[in-house]
Amino acid sequence: MTTDSPRWFKSSYSANGGQCIEWAPTHATTTGIVPVRDSKRPGGPSLMLSPSAFAGLVALARSAEL
């Protein structure tokens, strides 16, 4: 069974009140494009990143002082 909509996964840090991002790893593996969206707006726009840009985003988020 296939669908047009990717399967989205929330950040592991989503317990902070719901302010997090979601990404679609299967879509990324299949297409080489990593979709990212705001978990509060699942019907809203998605940011499409290259794998290296997504890795940079993750590195930036990990290095941020929260």
How many CA atoms, within 13 angstroms, populate the side-chain half-sphere of residue 42? Answer: 8
User: Nearest 5 degrees, angle CA 41-CA 55-CA 49?
Assistant: 50
Give the DSSP H/E element, type plus range, for residue 56. Answer: helix 51-63
pLDDT of residue 15: 57
pLDDT for 8-62, tens place per residue? 998 766 555 566 889 999 999 999 999 999 988 889 999 999 999 999 988 988 8
Burial label for 22, CB within 10 Å (0-12, 13-18, 19+), is: buried
pTM: 0.76
